[in-house]
């Protein structure tokens, strides 16, 4: 698992006000503050961190080693090592995680599946996000 000294740097920023249509592949770390219609994932198997700001809305699959969410994702989420859901996090889709930290107020409408080494355990269903 990452500790504060070994986390990859946030090398990329897609700022608020931008709108991206298409898949995004990033190296090491990226912060998203905008609207994206497409998948967001790291380029290779190197350590990766993805930060989804409160203003961000992603419609597509999201994956990285460590993901911090305070915005909205409409699609699947795969955090191989750590998933942090901050109070304004909203996920409409299935979630796979190595470890999970969920703050009060965060919502998930989908299945939660922990990643335990090479084996998976049965998913747990969650309530739907109210409209």
Closest by CA to 37, choosing from 51, 13, 21, 53, is 21
16-68: per-residue pLDDT in tens?
988 999 999 999 999 999 999 999 999 987 899 999 999 999 999 999 999 99
pLDDT of residue 109: 97
The neighbour count for residue 85, using CB atoms within 10 Å, is 25
Measuring CA to CA, how many Å separate 107 from each of 3, 90, 129?
Answer: 26, 5, 7
Rounded to two decimals, what is the model's pTM? 0.83
pLDDT classification of 130: cutoffs 50, 70, 90: low
pLDDT of residue 49: 95
Q: 130: Cβ–Cβ under 8 A, 6 or more apart, which residues?
A: none
Domain boundaries, the chain: 12-119
CA distance 66 to 81: 6
CA distance 37 to 23: 8
pLDDT of residue 52: 97
Q: Which residues pair with 101 in a beta bridge?
A: 84
CA distance 14 to 16: 7
54-90: per-residue pLDDT in tens?
999 999 999 999 999 999 999 999 999 999 999 999 9
């Amino acid at each position: 698992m990452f500790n504060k000294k070994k986390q990859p740097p946030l090398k990329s920023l897609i700022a608020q006000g931008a709108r991206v249509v298409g898949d995004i592949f990033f190296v090491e770390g990226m912060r998203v503050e905008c609207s994206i219609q497409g998948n967001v994932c790291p380029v290779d198997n190197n350590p990766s961190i993805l930060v989804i700001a409160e203003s961000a809305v992603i419609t597509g699959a999201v994956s990285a080693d460590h993901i911090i969410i305070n915005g909205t994702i409409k699609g699947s989420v795969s955090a191989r090592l750590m998933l942090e859901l901050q109070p304004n996090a909203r996920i409409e889709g299935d979630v796979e995680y190595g470890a999970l930290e969920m703050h009060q107020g965060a919502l998930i409408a989908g299945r939660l599946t922990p990643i335990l080494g090479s084996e998976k355990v049965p998913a747990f269903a969650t309530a739907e996000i109210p409209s």
